[in-house]
Amino acid sequence: MNLRQILFGSLNAKLLAILMMVALFSSITIAVMFTIYELNTVTKAEQSRLNSIANILAPNLTAALIFQDEVSAKEQIKPLLDQSNIVSARVEDTEGKAFVGIFSRKNNDIQIFTKLMVVSIPLTMKGVDYGTLTIKADYSLIEQSLIFFSIFLLGILALILILSFILSLFLRKNLIYPLTHLATVAEHVTKTNNYNLRSKVLSRDEVGNLASCFNLMLETIEQRDHSLEEKVQQRTNALKVANSQLTTQAFSDPLSGLPNRRYILDKLSDLITQPSDTHFAILGLDLDGFKEINDTMGHDYGDLLLIDVSRCIADTLPTSATLARLGGDEFIILVENFSSKAFINQIALEIHHRLSSGFSIKNKHVYVTISIGIAIFPDDGNTVENLVKYADLAMYKSKETGRNCHHFFNTIMLEDVLKKRELIDDLRSSLINNEFELYYQPIIDLSTNKIRKAEALIRWHHPVRGMVPPLEFISVAEEVGLIVDIGEWVARTAAQDLAKLKKLGADEHFQISVNVSPIQFKDGGQWMTNWFEYVAGLGLSHDAIIVEITENLLMESEDSVRSQLTKLKKQGVPIAIDDFGVGYSSLSYLQKMDVDILKIDKSFVDDLETKSNSRDLCQIMIMLAEHLSIQVIAEGIENEKQKQILTDLGCQFGQGYLFSKPLPLALFKQKYFDVS
């Protein structure tokens, strides 16, 4: 701490220092002034005294000088040496010659004024100058006087300083203490944030006013503090509630109230990371046909069904199991520390059993089944992702095997998936590698036995797999969307081949039919525009290519698909219904859609010879088509008897191995257009 901090570190010290400095400065100034004044006064007085002495002596000394009476003159000046400060006296004539003189060596202790004071007066008699009296004196008397005066002043100075100090103490008590008290309280409030503290009002001046204002300010702050605390408490409670709600929402499904995906995945992750010998099973559940229920009965029914299914499943579960809803109609069940697979199997069976009784929703009885896939930790996988994925694979297996059943995961499922992925990869490169080929199966006019149409059937020549039948890859192509590109290739190739056949002399009305997947209509039917331009470029009319769609497509498709079919129809493209009679066989679409051809499914033709009802059904279908002016093609004719029956029933066209199996274009041309 330096001197400045000591002197001016606090108000007390400042006031004390200022007062003392003012007192000291004033005292010193006054002392100096008085000293100078005293010095002048004393000096003048001494000079005056010496002058007086000289003037007293002068007349007699003048006379002595005039009468050359040295003795008398000496007698007169000799007493001067009795004066303590007079060191010499000398009488000189007008020529400067000494008449008489005295000198004394004084032992005065002179420290300040070392010069001598000289008083010299002329010795005159009636205007005539006879000589000079010179008296020299030291400053010892003046110095003594000055020293005494200085000591006196120092005493006064000390007294003033003491009085100033006492005054500062008094001021501290009456002026500074209220201020320092206020500052202490303010500092305490700042350090402790305790706004209950108050400063004493110790004076009625500005400081007292300041203390009052400070107390009022503290009161205001305290009130605000309380108010803020209350608000903060309220908001904290609200935040806690909101946080709790958010946590609940974050980890629970709002519809069913069950734990949600995040909760169950976190829990699975926690279980897997536990070092103990944990084992558990997860059951992936998916409602069968829930989409249809949603679509037919509405989403509100769907939601209510989900709630009821959730409750129903939850009721069947043991306490060690946790049911969570992943989303949509997917659920997952976690069963911890189960005893055996049989226990899990029993749970699955119980779920199937409980669901089999159906649910009553808004007075409507709804039946729903569920497909279940089961994966076990650590036997099947050791990560959450794998376990969930394997449960899904097992669940898909249940879906594939007829739904309403459950399967435990096994590695074959994974292998199937891997194979499917390889197939997809191969499919993606097949178009680029030009691995597809169109085979053509003739459609014969049964009355003339002449070829009138042909169906283009795709074949995939894989360099490793060999010939891959359409049944193996079409569904996969549809699943991954590759069917759009493949379908466009088929349509273009068929058109291209038809153009070639026309050049080889094919009949003007000869048509080729191509199968179109529902997926091809889901992208807005852009392929059609391109295809029309392509067909026109080949010089073909729009009715040269028949578009075959399955009966299911018409039944299941949306309005947009129907509108695109209508668009095709308006462009003059004939529409054929493939596999007629095996689907829903809703005849209403025949009324809505202007269908050109019905292709009776092979299953009806197969039993023509043995089952009368097959024959009756074929007859009805043929009659129906005849009444609606729709051409009929019977598929899968394999012998003459079948052909004869169909001919007898009035069927116009036939297709099947009786006439020809599907042939490559070259063979097809050779066989039917005499190309050697």
Partner 1 sequence: MIPIFRRLFIVKLLLVMLFISQAALATPREDAIKSGFLYNFARYSDGDWFNPDIKSTYNICSFNPEFIVAAKNTLKDLTIKKRLINVYLLTSLQENIVDCNTLFLSRGDSEKWALISENKAFINLMLVGEFDGFLASGGHINFFIVGGKVRFEIDPIKLKNSGINMSSKVLRLGRIHERIF
Q: Which residues bind to partner 1, rule: CB under 8 A?
A: 59-60, 62-64, 66-69, 72, 125-126
> Using CA atoms, how far apart are residues 54 and 47, in angstroms rounded to an integer?
10
Please write down the HEC assignment for all residues of 504-559: CCCCCCCEEEEECCHHHHCCCCHHHHHHHHHHHHCCCCHHHEEEEEEHHHHHHCCH
Cα atoms found within 13 Å of the Cα of residue 276, Cβ hemisphere only? 7
Residue 658 has which token pair?
Answer: 């009786």
Instruction: Name which of 93 and 579 has its Cβ closer to partner 1.
Output: 93
Instruction: Name which of 61 and 384 has its Cβ closer to partner 1.
Output: 61
Instruction: Name which of 99 and 377 has its Cβ closer to partner 1.
Output: 99
Q: Which residues pair with 132 in a beta bridge?
A: 92, 122
Kindly list the distances between the CA atom of residue 636 and the CA atoms of 437, 633, 640, in Å, as whole numbers in the listed order: 22, 10, 12
Sheet containing 98-103: order of strands: 98-103, 86-93, 128-137, 117-125
Instruction: Name which of 51 and 60 has its Cβ closer to partner 1.
Output: 60
| Smallest distance, partner 1 to C-beta of residue 76, A | 9
Instruction: Name which of 25 and 67 has its Cβ closer to partner 1.
Output: 67
| Smallest distance, partner 1 to C-beta of residue 131, A | 14
Q: What does DSSP say about strands 631-635 and 597-600: parallel, antiparallel, or unpaired? A: parallel
Instruction: Name which of 124 and 566 has its Cβ closer to partner 1.
Output: 124
| Smallest distance, partner 1 to C-beta of residue 73, A | 9
CB-based contacts of 362: which residues, under 8 Å, 6+ apart? 301, 304
| Smallest distance, partner 1 to C-beta of residue 89, A | 18
| Smallest distance, partner 1 to C-beta of residue 51, A | 19
Instruction: Name which of 4 and 126 has its Cβ closer to partner 1.
Output: 126
Helix 206-251 crosses helix 177-192 at what angle (to 10 degrees)?
A: 0
Instruction: Name which of 66 and 418 has its Cβ closer to partner 1.
Output: 66
Instruction: Name which of 59 and 469 has its Cβ closer to partner 1.
Output: 59
Helix, coil or strand: residue 456: strand
Instruction: Name which of 127 and 463 has its Cβ closer to partner 1.
Output: 127
Residue 586 has which token pair?
Answer: 């809703």
Total residue length of the chain: 676
Q: Which residues pair with 550 in a beta bridge?
A: 578
| Smallest distance, partner 1 to C-beta of residue 98, A | 17
Neighbours of 361 (CB within 10 A): 18
> Using CA atoms, how far apart are residues 564 and 542, in angstroms rounded to an integer?
15
| Smallest distance, partner 1 to C-beta of residue 124, A | 12
| Phi and psi at residue 170, to the nearest 5° | -65, -45
| Sign of the alpha-carbon torsion through 183, 189, 195, 197 | negative
| Smallest distance, partner 1 to C-beta of residue 69, A | 5
Instruction: Name which of 97 and 105 has its Cβ closer to partner 1.
Output: 97
| Smallest distance, partner 1 to C-beta of residue 33, A | 45
| Smallest distance, partner 1 to C-beta of residue 50, A | 21
| Closest of 622, 470, 633 to residue 546, by C-alpha | 633
CB-based contacts of 119: which residues, under 8 Å, 6+ apart? 47, 50, 51, 53, 54, 134, 135, 136, 137
| Closest of 92, 84, 89 to residue 103, by C-alpha | 89
| Smallest distance, partner 1 to C-beta of residue 49, A | 22
